Structure 1
Amino acid sequence: MLLILLGVLIMHLIILILLIVSTAASTWSVGGDTSTDLWYSCMTSNGGYHCKPASSEDWIQAVQALMILSLLFCFFSLIAFVFQLFKLVKGGRFFFTAIFQILASVFVMCAAIIYTVMSPNDGATQFGYAYVLAWVAFPLTLISGLIYIVLRKKE
């Protein structure tokens, strides 16, 4: 049982790190001399690296908000798991933790879908590694949430 709990905890920490990197990293889309993330659009020109704030369009603000919410819910889920680990009655399930984790999964999925549909695609840009990490974090977060539903505290 201890190995299962340790495995779930390590998986949760990996998911949290993936969400942090995908939210903060500067490569949601890459093309030529330009890299764009959720916060800045950076360009390399004349040997310099120049950044300007991301557009103030509604869709990018929605993606920013959803990624931050997914991060917060994943973090709250980790705190809830540790709290329930010590306070939950024997035989109880980690429903509270599971709900937070599944909500984090839904938020990161919605953010990635909005970015996929709304990001300008001029043929020269490609999706970067932060975008891919967001999509990798989605199924891992969902699986983690489902594991928390099944997991129960042993006697």
Structure 2
Amino acid sequence: MSIISTVAVAVSMYTWVLCLISTVLPYWTYQNLGHTIIHAGLWRTCTVHDGTSDCKKPSEGWIHAVQALMIISTLVLFLSMVCGCLKLKDESRRKVAIVATLSAVFGGCLVAAAVIVFGEKDKHNSSKFSAGFCLPIITAVTAFIAAVLFAFSRRNSGYTPLAP
């Protein structure tokens, strides 16, 4: 069991947890308008006016696309984590390491795409991006770090390239 494989799995687990939290977090944007506070996530937008809260599900098509991207990325990053654990159990599983690497890259790309779509479509509002928007950025970066670590762990466990 190599230290790089262990760190790759730990980073992969951390990435999956971040992705899961950022998907369900209701604070992607926040806006304070004096007596009215508006906070929105992927699943609902809430307006709090003088202590009274009114929450609605978003109906725009782009937010449904962001929801789908985040759900799929959570599943793909879970696959990366599971494959990393299988690789950690048996270092000779090279194909599992390839799947772990590629799924980490794909999951990171999906999260990055979700952040880009959300940021582009929501930039016209005067709201401020909040924790739910920042966590996916960190998630995408850590997913790419996990992919690099998985790739290095493959090379350190006896991987030989096909080309001469």
Question: Normalized against structure 2, the TM-score is what?
Answer: 0.84
Spell out, residue by residue over 1:107-134, the C-alpha distance to the aligned partner (whole angstroms, 9 max, x if none).
Answer: 00000000011115233x1001110111
Residue 31 of structure 2 is matched in structure 1 by: 31
Identity of aligned residues (%): 23
Aligned-partner SS, 1:50 = strand
Deviation at 1:84, TM superposition (A): 2.9
In the alignment, the residues of structure 1 paired with residue 5 and residue 151 of structure 2 have an alpha-carbon distance, to the nearest angstrom, of 13
Aligned-partner SS, 1:30 = strand
Residue 147 of structure 2 is matched in structure 1 by: 145
Residue 104 of structure 1 is matched in structure 2 by: 107
What is the letter of the counterpart of residue 3 of structure 2?
Answer: L
Q: Which has the larger radius of gyration?
A: 2
In the alignment, the residues of structure 2 paired with residue 122 and residue 98 of structure 1 have an alpha-carbon distance, to the nearest angstrom, of 37
Aligned-partner SS, 2:114 = helix
Aligned length: 152
Residue 70 of structure 2 is matched in structure 1 by: 67
1:49 aligns with 2:53: yes
Give yes or no for contact 2:5–2:150 (8 Å, CA) kept in 1: no
Q: Which residue, 34, 37, 44 being the options, matches 1:40?
A: 44
Structure 1 gaps, min length 5: none
In the alignment, the residues of structure 1 paired with residue 16 and residue 64 of structure 2 have an alpha-carbon distance, to the nearest angstrom, of 21
Deviation at 1:85, TM superposition (A): 2.9
Q: Which residue, 126, 129, 133 being the options, matches 1:127?
A: 129
1:118 aligns with 2:135: no
In the alignment, the residues of structure 2 paired with residue 62 and residue 118 of structure 1 have an alpha-carbon distance, to the nearest angstrom, of 11
Deviation at 1:87, TM superposition (A): 4.3
Deviation at 1:69, TM superposition (A): 0.8
Deviates more, 1:79-88 or 1:14-23: 79-88
Residue 20 of structure 2 is matched in structure 1 by: 20
What is the letter of the counterpart of residue 30 of structure 1?
Answer: Y
In the alignment, the residues of structure 1 paired with residue 15 and residue 91 of structure 2 have an alpha-carbon distance, to the nearest angstrom, of 23
Aligned-partner SS, 1:151 = helix
Residue 83 of structure 1 is matched in structure 2 by: 86
